[in-house]
Structure 1
Amino acid sequence: MDEPDLGLLVDKLDVTRKVRLLTGAAGWRTHDEPDIGLRSVVVSDGPIGVRGQGWDERSTSLALPSPTALAATWDVDLVRRLGVLLAAEARRKGVDVLLAPTLNLHRSPFAGRHFECYSEDPLLTARIGAAYITGVQSGGVAATAKHYVANDSETERMTLDADVDERTLHEVYLVPFEAAVEAGVWVVMSAYNGVNGVTMSESPLLDEPLKGSWVFDGLVVSDWGAIRSTAPSARAAQDLAMPGPESPWNDLAAAVENGEVPESALDLKVERLLRLASRVGALNGGTSRKPQVDAPLDLLREAVAAGTVLLRNDGVLPLAPGVKIAVLGPNAATARIQGGGSAGVYPESVVSFVDGLEEVAEVVHTAGVRLQDRPAPLTTANARHPHHGEPGVLVRLLDADGAELSAEHRFLGRVLEVPLVDGARTIEVHAKLDVDVTGEWTISVAGFGRLTVDLDGTRLVDEDVPLDTDDPAVIHLTPPYRQATAHLEAGTAVDLVARRELRENTGTATVLAADPPRLSDADELARAVGLARTSDVAVVVVGTTDEIESEGFDRTSLALPGRQDELVRAVRAVNDRTVVVVNSGGPVELPWRDEVAAVLLTWFPGQEAGHGLADVLLGVREPGGRLPTTWPAAQQDVPVSNVQPDHGVLRYDEGLHVGYRAWHRAGTAPAYWFGHGLGYTTWAYETVTATESGVRVRLRNTGNRPGREVVQVYVTRPTSTIDRPDRWLAAWTTTAAAPGETVEVDIDIPERAYQHWTTTGWTTEPGHFTLLVGPSSATTPLTLQHHP
Structure 2
Amino acid sequence: MTEWTVPDDRPDYAAAIEAALARLDLETKAALLGGRDMWRTVAAPEAGLRSMTVSDGPIGVRGRFWTAADPSLALPSPTAQAASWDPELVRRIGHLLAAESRRKEVDVLLAPTINLHRSPLGGRHFEGFSEDPYLTGRIAQAYVAGVQEHGVGTTMKHYVANDAETDRFTVDNIVDERTFRELYLRPFEMVTEAVRPWGVMTAYNAVNGTTMSANVELMAVLREEFGFDGFNVSDWGAARHTVGDVEAGLDLAMPGPFTVYGEHLVAAVREGRAKESDVDAAVRRLLLLAARVGALDGVAPAAEPPVESPDAAATLREIARRSFVLLQNDAPAGADAPALPLDAGALASLALIGPAAAEARILGGGSATVFPERVVSPLDGLRAALGDRVVYAQGVDLYEQILAAKHGFDLAVRPVLRDGAEGPAQALASGDVKWMGYVPGDVDPEDFDHAVVEGTFTVRTGGEHVFGTRGTGHHRLLVDGEVVFDGDQEVIGEDPFEAFFGPGVERARLPLEAGRTIAVRLEYTPVSAFPAGFPPSILFGLMHTEPRPDEDRLIAEAVAAAREAEVAVVVVSTTALTESEGFDRPDLRLPGRQDELVAAVAAVNPNTVVVVNTGSPVEMPWAGDVAAVLLTWFPGQEGGAALAEVILGAEPGGRLTTTWPKTLADAPVTRVVPNEDGELHYDEGIFIGYRAWERRGGPAPAHWFGHGLSYTDWTYEEIAVDGRLVRVRVRNTGSRTGREVVQVYLSPQEGVEVPGGIEAHRLAGFAAVEAAPGEAVEVTVELEERSFQVWDGGWRTVPGTWTASAGRSVADLPLSAPVEA
TM category, shorter: over 0.9
1:758-785 deviation per Cα after TM superposition (whole angstroms, max 9, x unaligned): 21x2110221112221110111111212
C-alpha displacement at 1:243, in angstroms? 0.7
2:70 aligned partner:
59
C-alpha displacement at 1:593, in angstroms? 0.8
C-alpha displacement at 1:553, in angstroms? 0.3
1:431 aligned partner:
455
Answering whether residue 412 of structure 2 is matched by residue 393 of structure 1, we say yes
1:471 aligned partner:
495
1:88-116 deviation per Cα after TM superposition (whole angstroms, max 9, x unaligned): 00000000000000000000000000000
Q: 1:320 corresponds to which letter in structure 2?
A: D
2:359 aligned partner:
334
Q: Secondary structure at the match of 1:496?
A: strand
Match of 1:319 among 342, 352, 369: 342
Q: 1:734 corresponds to which letter in structure 2?
A: A
Summarize the alignment of residues 369-388 of structure 1 with structure 2, pairs less than 5 Å apart.
369-379=396-406, 382-384=408-410
C-alpha displacement at 1:286, in angstroms? 5.4
Summarize the alignment of residues 16-95 of structure 1 with structure 2, pairs less than 5 Å apart.
16-95=27-106
Q: 1:290 corresponds to which letter in structure 2?
A: P
2:775 aligned partner:
741
Match of 1:209 among 221, 224, 246: 221
1:48–1:64 CA contact under 8 A, matched in 2:
yes
Answering whether residue 664 of structure 2 is matched by residue 626 of structure 1, we say no
1:549–1:555 CA contact under 8 A, matched in 2:
yes
1:16-37 deviation per Cα after TM superposition (whole angstroms, max 9, x unaligned): 1111111101110101111111
C-alpha displacement at 1:372, in angstroms? 2.0
Q: Secondary structure at the match of 2:313?
A: helix
Answering whether residue 602 of structure 2 is matched by residue 572 of structure 1, we say yes
Aligned mates of 1:703, 1:286 — CA distance in 2: 56
Summarize the alignment of residues 290-305 of structure 1 with structure 2, pairs less than 5 Å apart.
290-291=305-306, 292-305=308-321
1:387 aligned partner:
none
Summarize the alignment of residues 142-541 of structure 1 with structure 2, pairs less than 5 Å apart.
142-182=153-193, 183-250=195-262, 251-284=264-297, 289-291=304-306, 292-314=308-330, 315-322=338-345, 323=347, 324-361=349-386, 362-379=389-406, 382-384=408-410, 392-397=411-416, 399=418, 403=420, 405-411=422-428, 412-417=430-435, 419=439, 421-478=445-502, 480-503=504-527, 504-505=529-530, 507-541=537-571
2:402–2:503 CA contact under 8 A, matched in 1:
no
1:166-209 deviation per Cα after TM superposition (whole angstroms, max 9, x unaligned): 01000000011111212111000000001111100000244321
Aligned mates of 2:609, 2:464 — CA distance in 1: 35
Q: Which runs of 5+ in 1 are unaligned?
A: 385-391
Q: Secondary structure at the match of 1:703?
A: coil
Aligned mates of 1:9, 1:287 — CA distance in 2: 15
Segment drifting more, 2-11 vs 710-719: 2-11
Q: 2:11 corresponds to which letter in structure 1?
A: D
2:588 aligned partner:
558
2:671 aligned partner:
642
1:719 aligned partner:
751
C-alpha displacement at 1:476, in angstroms? 4.2
> Structure 1 residues 543 and 767, CA, compared in 2 at 3 Å: closer, same or farther?
same
2:499–2:540 CA contact under 8 A, matched in 1:
no
Aligned mates of 2:94, 2:487 — CA distance in 1: 45
1:332–1:352 CA contact under 8 A, matched in 2:
yes
C-alpha displacement at 1:7, in angstroms? 2.3
Q: Secondary structure at the match of 1:422?
A: helix
C-alpha displacement at 1:342, in angstroms? 0.4
Match of 2:741 among 710, 715, 721: 710
2:534 aligned partner:
none
1:398–1:428 CA contact under 8 A, matched in 2:
no
1:773 aligned partner:
806
1:373–1:546 CA contact under 8 A, matched in 2:
no
1:473–1:551 CA contact under 8 A, matched in 2:
no
1:731 aligned partner:
765
> Structure 1 residues 649 and 299, CA, compared in 2 at 3 Å: closer, same or farther?
same
1:107–1:659 CA contact under 8 A, matched in 2:
yes
Q: 2:432 corresponds to which letter in structure 1?
A: R
Q: Secondary structure at the match of 1:416?
A: strand
2:466–2:506 CA contact under 8 A, matched in 1:
no
1:690-747 deviation per Cα after TM superposition (whole angstroms, max 9, x unaligned): 1233211122212111111111111112422101122111111111211122222111
Aligned mates of 1:185, 1:567 — CA distance in 2: 47
> Structure 1 residues 8 and 393, CA, compared in 2 at 3 Å: closer, same or farther?
closer
> Structure 1 residues 605 and 3, CA, compared in 2 at 3 Å: closer, same or farther?
farther
1:428–1:500 CA contact under 8 A, matched in 2:
yes
What is the RMSD of the two structures over their aligned residues, measured on CA atoms? 1.6
Q: Secondary structure at the match of 2:358?
A: coil
Segment drifting more, 358-367 vs 162-171: 358-367
Q: Secondary structure at the match of 1:660?
A: helix
Q: Which runs of 5+ in 2 are unaligned?
A: 1-9, 331-337, 532-536
Q: 1:59 corresponds to which letter in structure 2?
A: D
2:471–2:539 CA contact under 8 A, matched in 1:
yes
C-alpha displacement at 1:479, in angstroms? 5.4
2:403–2:504 CA contact under 8 A, matched in 1:
no
Q: 1:2 corresponds to which letter in structure 2?
A: P
1:540–1:580 CA contact under 8 A, matched in 2:
yes
1:196-245 deviation per Cα after TM superposition (whole angstroms, max 9, x unaligned): 11100000244321110111111011111111111111111211111101
C-alpha displacement at 1:404, in angstroms? 5.0
> Structure 1 residues 142 and 423, CA, compared in 2 at 3 Å: closer, same or farther?
closer
Q: Secondary structure at the match of 2:680?
A: strand
1:389 aligned partner:
none
Aligned mates of 1:762, 1:559 — CA distance in 2: 41
Aligned mates of 2:12, 2:808 — CA distance in 1: 46
Q: Secondary structure at the match of 2:385?
A: coil
TM-score calculated relative to the size of structure 1: 0.96
> Structure 1 residues 286 and 475, CA, compared in 2 at 3 Å: closer, same or farther?
farther
Q: How many residue pairs are counted as aligned between the two chains?
A: 776
1:606 aligned partner:
636
1:628-670 deviation per Cα after TM superposition (whole angstroms, max 9, x unaligned): 0000001111100010011211100000001011111111300
2:333 aligned partner:
none
Q: Secondary structure at the match of 2:94?
A: helix
Aligned mates of 1:343, 1:424 — CA distance in 2: 27
Q: 1:377 corresponds to which letter in structure 2?
A: A
TM-score calculated relative to the size of structure 2: 0.92
> Structure 1 residues 141 and 351, CA, compared in 2 at 3 Å: closer, same or farther?
same
> Structure 1 residues 398 and 19, CA, compared in 2 at 3 Å: closer, same or farther?
closer
